[in-house]
Structures are given as structure tokens and as C-alpha cells.
Amino acid sequence: EWFLRICGDESNDVNDVRIRRLLDMLDYRAENNLRKMDTGSSAKRLFHNNDADNVAITASAEMTGEYQLLLQIALAYGTYGTKYYRDPDVEAKLLYGVKWLNEHYYGDKQTYGKGADGWHLMTGFNWWDWYIGVPQSLYDILIVLDHFGLLTDAMVDKYLAPVKYVIDDPDG
């Protein structure tokens, strides 16, 4: 099962020095990303350091980066032995984050020909981000959330619709 490959399970030996180092690294990354996460109504991006950084994403690599930051939180949430393991506040932020990113950057309204925010209009468009970069992180985020029963089939279908779109119509 893929979840076990990315998060392990409750048999993680949290007293093993090497494993403790990895768990501490997950905690550190998640803590930093949670601090940068913007759940306010005026957010133009999900993660930023300050108000000056709260600008809309114009390059697809930035979009991939947003998903990678959310994935780091998801890994800490799903990994036994971290301080964020199954934390209800982190769970709520993960669900918010995946929904927000779907609504603003990698979702139905961004597919070609469906609105002013079409993904072909990004000034820094790179096919790799749409076909590989975001899907890699998105799959792992969804696997963690689904492992704990936090997603419905409809949610999974909605969040994976852009992946299906680019696979079914690779030329956009």
C-alpha cells in the first residue's frame, strides 16, 4: 500500500535515532508551512511569508511548490510519531488547502477554455507542472487523507479531474 511507503504506520520505532531525525524533519517542515498558510478570504496564494508575498501565482512552478508545501504538512499529519500525527487542526487545514488549491489553481475552472483563469494563460507555463509536478504531490496528499477516511469519492473525482483532463487531452 502506497500510504505505508510514504508514512509508515504505528510500528515506526520513534526511539530509533534515524527515524526520530526524520520525524523531527517532518515536524519542522510542517510547522514552517502551517505558519505560512493563509486561510483568509483575501489570500491569493495558499502559502506566503507576509502580505507582500500574497500575490497571485503566475508561473506553474509556483503552483507545484504550493502543492509540495501542502504535501509536507500531509506527511507530518499521516506519520506516526510526529507532533502533528492525526491532529484535528492540521486535518482541517489540509482539507481546506486541497480544496483551496483546487478552486484557485488546479481545478475545473483552470482547464483550457473554462474561464479567464485558464491554465494556458499563466505567463510561466511549463507542461511538467501540470502533467507531473502537481499530480505527484496531489496523489500523495489524497492518499494520506483517504487513508484516514477524510475524502468522499466525489471529492477524489473533483480533485483528480484536472489530471484526467490533461491525460485525455494532452495538447489542451
User: What pTM, to 2 d.p., does this model score?
Assistant: 0.92
Residues whose CB falls within 8 Å of the CB of residue 98, separated by 6 or more in sequence, listed in order:
70, 138, 141, 142, 145, 159
Name the amino acid, one letter, at 69. L
The pLDDT assigned to 34 comes to 98
Query: Does 99 or 164 have the greater pLDDT score?
Result: 99
pLDDT 10s digits, 72-107:
999 999 999 999 999 999 999 999 999 999 988 888
Residue position matching grid coordinates 502533467: 131
Q: From residue 15, how far is each of 8, 81, 93 by CA, in Å?
A: 15, 9, 28
pLDDT at 117 over 70: no
- For the chain, how big is the Rg over CA atoms in Å? 16
